Amino acid sequence: MRWRLSYFLAVLCAVLLMTADTRAVLNEDHVVHTLLGTIRGVPLTFQNERVSAFLGVPYARPPVGVRRFAKPEMVQPWSGELEARHLAKTCFLTIDTAEDCLNMNIWVPANHDGSVLVWIFGGGFFSGSPSLDLYDGTALAAIKHTIVVNINYRLGPFGFLYLGDESPVPGNMGLLDQQAALRWLHENIGSFGGDSSRVTLFGESAGSASATAHLAAPDSYSYFSKIIANSGTIMNSWASRTPETMLELSMRLAKRLNCTSKGTDAISIHNCLRGVPASVVQVEADHVSSEIGLPMTFAFVPVSADRNFFKGDVFDRIRTRSFKKDVAAIFGTVKDEGTYWLPYYMSRYGFCFNHTISAEDPQNRALITREQYRQSMKAFMPYFGGSALVEHALLHAYQSVSTGFTPQENLRDGVGRFLGDYFFTCSLIEFVDIIADNVYGPVYMYYFTMRSTANPWPKWMGVMHGYEIEYAFGQPLSRPSLYEKNYLTTEQRFSEFIMKLWIDFANTGTPATYWPKYNRIDRQALELGEESTRGDHRIMVDVHGSYCRLIDEAKTVAGQVSECRARRTQSEPAARKLSAAGSAPVSAFLFVVLLGTLRALVPVEQLPQMW
């Protein structure tokens, strides 16, 4: 017994010495010895805190040549010393980016307790980079004494082309890249002093959708214990497409690249696509995307059902609660999710911006007319089967959502609010409801209301999509010149507040004692705004709930209308009878459904009179 105890103590001392040595080496030489080989980083200092940065560390073999469009292959051991001194390359987007991009940036502070934050960037799965100044992990690592990792993944057609599960182009390569990066960290982060059992994924938009996708990917389960999901889930309409749709879009790209002339089988198409210059592939993929026409619809995104990543249909997994249960989570949305997208998708309807003049110039107020409002909302109606009932209901509901001083402001703000509700907030809440009911760990939700003084867009656009990221990475502290001087102290205090919430959650699973856990009954969310730094912790209930319920009803109506149309198509004689005798009762029923929801949103005298 004494021998066993002595042996145990000897092993324990050895482990502690190894850990101490590793951290000492990091402090002095910025060198780590991993299972794959030695890595040398670069020394950084922020607010008198030392950080070792390991930049552009490869986790998989370059996806070029025969490995283009293939599942990632883990990087092989190397001899000598790997110089990790340059930021990870951006995966191929334009001529100055690279296909050889499966690498990551790692920031390790001199003093930390082993917790790891893994950032997954957003960009609609077609753009983005782990190496933007905005995502510099130095400040977060130094101030909060945590390891920060930014992972890279393939984008657009290189990451999400799909020719079938059994083909050489299986789809979801970008998500599999992320999974490979998480596996690399699981196997190697201990060499940096990190704890592989205390990994938190955090991301925004498509990065947030990616983080939630790993909840439904069995091979990812062991690689993380918590997630922080900002403005996106895999359930959002833009975050995935069916295999049938992805195959059709991929074949459309292959045809544009003249890769179907020798046959339409996956192998011959793949062989052809591998030989096309990356820049040409990207240009033609952009053409395919532009042909779709619908706002907020991206061509090359995750395929919703596969055998490699989801190992099934992701929506079936969510519906049957077949996802990772041992997890804690924070979900959140910003107040004005939709306004960011208006100049990109709604410019033809009056949302034009002149960047050569002041953002606050009257020309940039986007004071649209009632007809422009109607046309703007009509542009989204294909998502509702073109239903006139839905169109009228949404037009009336969203025209009064704003507290603007003029009717034009109300109409303008209504379009932005609808866009944000439909494409971001409501789908996120639906997902949070499911997760909160079924995971073992606590779930929290926030509503972000702090507008950055570094935001260059007009003030009426509010708290825009993506503008919470800078606070989580400490940008007001690392790049203070971007902010208004007379407001800088508030910006910095708020950034420190957000970083503390995130790190406390990563360390303990509890971001703050005053933050109530989320449940689907009252849907409590903590408002994160300027008042938060003064100890005014406001709790919101049922964020955008009435509007989300209206959208849910509208989806139901659209589904019923589509079903009726399908039946008419199947039988023309029956369809004529339905048109003559049956459509009015159906329309009346659907109107009653929408009217009930509208009454909760709009005063009776403002309800539609055009039915």
3-state secondary structure 528-552: ECHHHHHCCCCEEECCCHHHHHHHH
pLDDT at 589 over 50: no
pLDDT at 508 over 60: yes
pLDDT at 610 over 80: no
For the chain, the 3-state helix, strand and coil shares in percent, each to the nearest 5, are: 50, 15, 40
pLDDT at 262: 79
pLDDT at 402: 86
Structure tokens at 539: 């709790």
- Candidates 129, 123, 140; CA nearest to 209 is 123
DSSP state of 78: -
Report the predicted TM-score, pTM, of the whole model to 2 decimal places. 0.90
Confidence at 110, pLDDT banded by 50, 70, 90 = very high
**What average pLDDT does range 87-98 have in this prediction?**
90
Are 478 and 350 in contact by the 8 Å Cβ rule? The answer is: no
Are 338 and 418 in contact by the 8 Å Cβ rule? The answer is: yes
193-247 pLDDT per residue, tens? 999 999 999 999 999 999 999 999 999 999 999 999 999 999 999 999 999 999 9
pLDDT at 105 over 60: yes
Rounded CA separation 51/428 (Å):
35
**What average pLDDT does range 270-291 have in this prediction?**
96
- Candidates 118, 130, 186; CA nearest to 154 is 130
pLDDT at 1: 38
- 321 or 558, which is more confident: 321
Beta-carbon neighbour count of residue 291 at 10 Å?
Answer: 11
Strands 539-541 and 524-528: antiparallel
pLDDT at 23: 36
Half-sphere exposure of 266 (CA within 13 A, CB side): 16
301-340 pLDDT per residue, tens? 999 999 999 999 999 999 999 999 999 999 999 999 999 9
Confidence at 611, pLDDT banded by 50, 70, 90 = very low
436-472 pLDDT per residue, tens? 999 999 999 999 999 999 999 999 999 999 999 999 9
C-alpha 83: how far from chain center: 31
Rounded CA separation 421/429 (Å):
10
Confidence at 561, pLDDT banded by 50, 70, 90 = low
- Candidates 234, 247, 410; CA nearest to 310 is 234
pLDDT at 14: 37
Range scoring the smallest mean pLDDT among 29-33, 60-64, 255-259, 558-562:
558-562
Rounded CA separation 206/221 (Å):
19
pLDDT at 577 over 60: no
Active-site residues, by number, are 205, 337, 465
DSSP state of 433: H
pLDDT at 609 over 60: no
Beta-carbon neighbour count of residue 347 at 10 Å?
Answer: 12
Q: Where are the alpha helices (DSSP H) in 161-215?
A: 173-188, 206-213
472 contact partners, CB below 8 Å, separation of at least 6: 140, 202, 495, 498, 499, 502
What domains can be seen in the chain, in order of their start residue? 2-230 (3.40.50.1820), 329-545 (3.40.50.1820)
Rounded CA separation 160/298 (Å):
11
Confidence at 264, pLDDT banded by 50, 70, 90 = confident
**What average pLDDT does range 421-448 have in this prediction?**
98
3-state secondary structure 194-208: CCCCCEEEEEECHHH
pLDDT at 293: 86
- 609 or 9, which is more confident: 609
Strands 147-151 and 226-230: unpaired
Q: Using CB atoms within 10 A of its CB, is residue 536 exposed (0-12), middle (13-18) or buried (19+)?
A: exposed
Rounded CA separation 212/448 (Å):
19
157 phi and psi angles, rounded to 5 deg: -65, -30
Confidence at 146, pLDDT banded by 50, 70, 90 = very high
Strands 328-334 and 443-448: parallel
15-42 pLDDT per residue, tens? 333 333 333 335 467 999 999 999 999 9
Task: Specify the DSSP element, H or E, that contains 83.
Answer: strand 81-83
Confidence at 529, pLDDT banded by 50, 70, 90 = very high
Rounded CA separation 398/400 (Å):
5
Rounded CA separation 308/180 (Å):
12
294 phi and psi angles, rounded to 5 deg: -75, 140
Of the chain, the end-to-end C-alpha distance in Å amounts to 87
Are 336 and 420 in contact by the 8 Å Cβ rule? The answer is: yes
Confidence at 571, pLDDT banded by 50, 70, 90 = low
pLDDT at 10 over 50: no
Mean pLDDT of the chain: 90
pLDDT at 492 over 80: yes
**What average pLDDT does range 500-513 have in this prediction?**
98
pLDDT at 601: 58
Rounded CA separation 317/301 (Å):
18
Rounded CA separation 57/329 (Å):
28
